[in-house]
């Protein structure tokens, strides 16, 4: 496969025009201007071909630009009715979709709210948890990422630039996550006996906020934006003990980790724990905007009028999500097997590279949610921040799209359908 990427004035001019009309967001690294794509390949506006190890930020779990079935469902629905004000009026398609979606969750899950993004799904989860418990505080982890609107941003703590000037965020309590490669308490797992869990019990919950005032504990089963941090297998059972003992709700943000990415529909299932509320977005509608907040049935309902939106249940997004879901249900076994097999292969190859390169300090992941953490030296573990940028740029120049995560990690999240040769 010919890999040398050629970038000309055409790309540079487009980037200049973009800068003139759009406020800065997070686009600053390599000069990628997307044009089209399919499967595990994407092409830029100059016709350069890239292997996609990013799934366009975890959205195309089943192939770039979804599949023909999803695209057909979208165009069919566009010809019928695009928007039906679903939170005010009813429509059949979202009901059919909802009925199918609940079957993917544990048996006692049954009611949901539809929105347009991950952050909006989490905003809803925060409000619902407060409504269900009549409590106001929320617990979340350092290096968590739950979104950028004010409610979910209060929970996000992965980079200060994301929060600077937007606070104060008064109802959130942050606690250390099980980042064992760089334990915040300088302990070693398993000898530590979950010292980070004891810390939560002994400090925030003894000195800062009563557990009886905490509505919910938000978790990402694998921290995403914060660095693709995978906690030990038994960790969430310990966290669940805290939520149960205090009557808090456990909210699992599966926006990035869910929808088969790790080889299971819900990544939290790898840890043998069930949450009370799940949030999903990204891959769920195959490339169109959608967020889902799924609630345990026993929590009951929210008061009519207490939460709604305009575009939740948008018929085109739902048509895409319904077609995507049918595809996933039909192919569930093979998708699970592919995520496991390809993930194992990827981890094995990266472990071999770790042996060879001083730069790779850690290799981690479950299924096809994988990262390497780059360090200046294996012993000192100094974050290799500049080197990480160089690796991303070099990869781009050689036809591979990858994304950073955390301070010095690189996430590797190709579509689950990626071919062996492109891996």
Query: Which positions lie near ligand PLP, rule CB under 6 A?
Result: 117-119, 122, 145-147, 220, 224-225, 253, 255-256, 281
Cα–Cα distance, 373 to 284 (Å, whole number): 28
**Judged by CB, which is closer to ligand PLP: 123, or 238?**
123
* Secondary-structure percent of the chain, ordered helix, strand, coil, rounded to 5: 40, 20, 45
Copy the structure tokens of residue 108: 């006692």
Nearest to ligand PLP by Cβ — which residue? 118
In the complex, the smallest distance separating the C-beta of residue 122 from ligand PLP, rounded to whole angstroms, is: 6
Q: Is 408 helix (H, G, I), strand (E, B) or coil?
A: coil
Q: Which of 295, 330, 315 is nearest to 84 (CA)?
A: 315
In the complex, the smallest distance separating the C-beta of residue 312 from ligand PLP, rounded to whole angstroms, is: 13
User: Which residue pairs from 186-190 have beta carbons closer than 8 angstroms and sit at least 24 positions apart in sequence?
Assistant: 189/232, 190/232
**Judged by CB, which is closer to ligand PLP: 270, or 360?**
270
**Judged by CB, which is closer to ligand PLP: 195, or 411?**
411
In the complex, the smallest distance separating the C-beta of residue 356 from ligand PLP, rounded to whole angstroms, is: 31
Q: Which residues contact 88 (CB under 8 A, 6 or more apart)?
A: 308
Cis peptide before 6 (omega within 30 of 0): no
In the complex, the smallest distance separating the C-beta of residue 186 from ligand PLP, rounded to whole angstroms, is: 27
Cα 379 to Cα 336, 360, 361, distances in angstroms: 36, 11, 9
**Judged by CB, which is closer to ligand PLP: 59, or 338?**
59
Mode of pairing for the β-strands spanning 41-44 and 49-52: antiparallel
Contact 117, 346 (CB under 8 A): no
**Judged by CB, which is closer to ligand PLP: 118, or 415?**
118
Cα 256 to Cα 86, 163, 392, distances in angstroms: 25, 20, 21
**Judged by CB, which is closer to ligand PLP: 54, or 256?**
256
Cis peptide before 46 (omega within 30 of 0): no
**Judged by CB, which is closer to ligand PLP: 101, or 360?**
101
In the complex, the smallest distance separating the C-beta of residue 406 from ligand PLP, rounded to whole angstroms, is: 12
**Judged by CB, which is closer to ligand PLP: 255, or 268?**
255
In the complex, the smallest distance separating the C-beta of residue 223 from ligand PLP, rounded to whole angstroms, is: 8
- Torsion sign, CA atoms 26, 31, 35, 38: negative
In the complex, the smallest distance separating the C-beta of residue 13 from ligand PLP, rounded to whole angstroms, is: 28
Q: Is 372 helix (H, G, I), strand (E, B) or coil?
A: strand
In the complex, the smallest distance separating the C-beta of residue 266 from ligand PLP, rounded to whole angstroms, is: 13
């Amino acid at each position: 496969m010919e890999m040398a990427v050629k970038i000309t004035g055409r790309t540079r001019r487009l980037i200049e025009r973009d800068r003139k009309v759009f406020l800065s967001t997070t686009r600053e690294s390599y000069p990628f201007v997307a044009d089209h794509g399919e499967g595990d390949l994407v092409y830029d506006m100059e016709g350069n071909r890239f292997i996609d190890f990013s799934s366009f930020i975890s959205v195309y779990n089943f192939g770039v630009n979804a599949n023909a079935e999803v695209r057909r469902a979208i165009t069919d629905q566009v010809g019928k009715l695009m928007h039906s004000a679903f939170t005010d009026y009813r429509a059949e398609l979202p009901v059919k979709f909802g009925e199918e979606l609940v079957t993917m969750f544990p048996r006692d899950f049954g009611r949901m709210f539809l929105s347009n993004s991950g952050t909006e799904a989490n905003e809803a989860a925060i409000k619902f948890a407060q409504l269900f418990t009549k409590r106001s505080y929320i617990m979340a982890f350092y290096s968590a990422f739950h979104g950028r609107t004010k409610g979910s941003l209060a929970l996000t703590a992965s980079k200060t630039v994301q929060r600077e000037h937007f606070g104060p965020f008064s109802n959130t309590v942050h606690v250390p996550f099980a980042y064992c490669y760089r334990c915040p308490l300088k302990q070693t797992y398993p000898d530590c006996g979950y010292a980070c869990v004891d810390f939560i019990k002994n400090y925030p919950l003894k000195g800062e906020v009563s557990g009886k005032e905490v509505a919910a504990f938000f978790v990402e089963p694998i921290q995403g934006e914060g660095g693709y941090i995978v906690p030990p297998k038994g960790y969430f059972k310990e966290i669940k003990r805290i939520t149960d003992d205090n009557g808090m709700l456990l909210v699992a943000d599966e926006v990035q980790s869910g929808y088969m990415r790790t080889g299971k529909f819900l990544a939290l299932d790898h840890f043998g724990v069930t949450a009370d509320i799940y949030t999903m977005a990204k891959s769920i509608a195959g490339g169109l905007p959608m967020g889902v907040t799924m609630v345990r049935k026993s929590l009951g309902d929210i008061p009519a009028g207490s939460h709604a939106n305009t575009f939740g249940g948008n018929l085109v997004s739902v048509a895409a999500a319904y077609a995507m879901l049918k595809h996933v249900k039909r192919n569930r076994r093979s998708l699970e097997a592919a995520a496991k097999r390809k993930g194992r292969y990827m981890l094995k190859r990266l472990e071999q590279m770790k042996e060879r390169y001083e730069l790779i300090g850690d290799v981690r992941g479950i299924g096809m949610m994988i990262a390497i953490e780059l360090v200046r030296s294996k012993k000192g573990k100094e974050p290799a921040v500049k080197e990480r940028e160089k690796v991303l740029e070099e990869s781009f120049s050689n036809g591979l799209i990858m994304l950073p995560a955390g301070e010095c990690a690189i996430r590797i999240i190709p579509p689950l359908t990626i071919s062996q040769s492109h891996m």
